[in-house]
Amino acid sequence: MKKSLLLMSSLAAVVLSGCATQAINGYSAFQPIDLNPQVKAGKLVQKTNSFFVVNDSSSSMSRTYLGSADYKGTKLDVEKDLLNKFNKSIPNIPLSSGVLNFGYGSCLNWSDSQLVQPIEKYSPNSFDAAINSLQCSSGGTPLAEALQTAKQTLGTAPGNIALIVLSDGMGHSSAIPNAEALAEQFGDRLCIYPVWVGNPADTQGRENLEQIAKTSSCGAANDAVDLASAQGVSNFVKQVFFKEGNTGLEADDDQDGVPNSKDKCPDTPRGAIVDRDGCWTFHSLLFDFDSDKIKSSATPAIQNAVHVLKLNPGLTAEIQGHTDGIGSVSYNLKLSERRALSVKRELINQGIEGKRLTTHGFGKSEPVASNDTEEGRAYNRRVTYKRTDR
């Protein structure tokens, strides 16, 4: 009787873990297409500032991939191989990145998702380490829960965001409402790019991922088969990170992705992340309401400022604090000044010389959105960097 119970317990554990299958870390030989010349020539203009990968490591990804002879091993192996090619194909542009793994069982420490890499300054080496950490696949396919986790994490991502979902898509129809909630929260800042890593028997999964892509106005669904070649990966990188450069009719002199006719800050320094007006600004990211304490989630925004100042050693800047319209003029003026000083102190702590930085608080005097809505007020709570070396 005891032996029977032990056997049943063991079988249950195997089922719950999804029969964890180890991944292969060897990648196929790959020579990426160099996109840097097109970026430097202005033929490609950066549109995305952060990307976040949501990777399917459920038990269905342990099955052998049958979609293309260009890939070897399981569907999880294909995901990793594809991410390796993607990583090698990204040109030298300032980015933030993160990676979330989802499934269940022993491969994810018995949770439905695992934050492999939080949103941080992108580097090929750290992203490669995140890919290599995806060691096995097990359990169910809780994409809906993973997107809920992503919703919280993406709040720290600066600028425009690309959400890349790699999966066979099976059992993911329930994730569509969560994708819609993401699109509603982040609006036109968010584009969702699912990549179907499925077999012929998984066509329903492809349809599910296509529906998820449609929840964002700028998203697009892709197939791993089309991303097997260097050209295919290059096209995907361009789709995710770039828009076509100007033709001369819409000049963009500071090459920040905003044409001169719409650019309210036409002298943006190289490497700066800009908002929709072309200004080196971070909206509702550095501070909580009525606070001058920099949030830990603002690390990517601070890192971008440090990166820009180090990339442009002759650059000096005025740090300008702004508030929303709630409260008196005098109170908001002092609050905005304290926020600007907090940012200056943090940049100095990060190795920037204090003599390169000045501060100015504007309070609520210069709104860039309506203070009648929460969204507008959040957009008005911002810190802007204005260069003073010109």
SS3 annotation, 31-65: CCCCCHHHHHCCCEEECCCEEEEEEECCHHHHCEC
**Is residue 15 scored above 50 in pLDDT?**
no
Q: How far apart are CA 168 and CA 382, in angstroms?
A: 40
Q: d(Cα 164, Cα 313) in Å, to the nearest integer?
A: 34
Average pLDDT of the residues in 83-105: 94
Query: How far is the C-alpha of 331 from the C-alpha of 363, rounded, in Å?
Result: 8
Taking 80 as the threshold, does the pLDDT of residue 4 lie above it? no
Report for 95-99, 243-247, 294-298: range of highest mean pLDDT: 95-99
Taking the C-alpha atoms of residue 47 and residue 161, their distance in angstroms, rounded to an integer, is 9
Partners of residue 53 on adjacent β-strands: 99, 164
Of 44-48, 143-147, 259-263, which gets the smallest average pLDDT? 259-263
What is the mean predicted confidence (pLDDT) over 71-98? 95
Which H/E stretch holds residue 282? strand 281-283
| 323 in Cβ contact with 367 (< 8 Å) | no
Burial 23-43 (b: 16+ CB within 10 A, else e): beeebeeeebbebeebbeeee
Dihedral of CA 75/81/82/87: which sign?
A: positive
Mean model confidence pLDDT for the chain: 86
Q: Which domains does the chain have, with CATH numbers?
A: 29-244 (3.40.50.410), 260-387 (3.30.1330.60)
Contacts of 41 (CB under 8 A, 6+ apart): 245
Determine the 3-state secondary structure of 384 from DSSP: strand
Range list of H helices, the chain: 2-17, 36-40, 75-89, 124-132, 143-153, 176-186, 203-214, 230-241, 299-311, 329-349, 374-380
Q: In this structure, what DSSP letter does residue 23 have?
A: P
How much is the average pLDDT of 129-133?
Answer: 93
**Burial class of 349 by CB neighbour count within 10 A (0 to 12, 13 to 18, 19+):** exposed
Q: What is the mean pLDDT of residues 134-156?
A: 86
Residues paired with residue 55 on neighbouring β-strands, in sequence order? 101, 166
What is the pLDDT, as a whole number, of residue 246? 58
Asked if residue 14 has pLDDT above 60, the reply is: no
What integer pLDDT is reported at residue 377 of this predicted model? 86
HSE, side-chain direction, 13 A CA sphere, residue 290: 4
pLDDT (0 to 100) of residue 285? 63
Q: In whole angstroms, what is the distance from residue 385 CA to residue 179 CA? A: 33
Q: Among residues 193, 197, 147, which one has the least CA distance to residue 168?
A: 197
Give the lowest-confidence range in 67-71, 237-241, 319-323: 67-71
Residue 262: name the closest of 270, 273, 252 by CA: 252
Q: 245-254, 256-265, 315-324: which has the minimum mean pLDDT?
A: 245-254
Which residue, chain included where needed, has tokens 């100015």? 360
pLDDT, greater one: 259 or 115:
115
Tell me if 198 sits within 8 A of 207, measured CB to CB.
no
- 303 C-beta neighbours (distance < 10 Å), count: 16
* Res 22 pLDDT > 60: no
Q: How confident is the model at residue 123 (pLDDT cuts 50, 70, 90)?
A: very high
Closest CA to 384 of 338, 318, 330, 295: 318
- Token pair, residue 85, equals 């090619």
Q: What is the pLDDT of residue 275?
A: 82
User: Could you tell me which residue, 14 or 211, shows the higher pLDDT?
Assistant: 211
CA distance 87 to 94: 14
Q: Mind listing the pLDDT tens digit for each residue in 295-354?
A: 777 777 888 899 899 888 889 999 999 998 999 999 999 999 998 999 999 999 999 999
**pLDDT score, position 345:** 93
Q: pLDDT: is 147 or 293 the higher one?
A: 147
Percent of the residues in the chain that have a pLDDT greater than 90, as a whole number: 52
Token pair for 247: 């033709």
pTM of the model as a whole: 0.63
Position 25 scores a pLDDT of 55
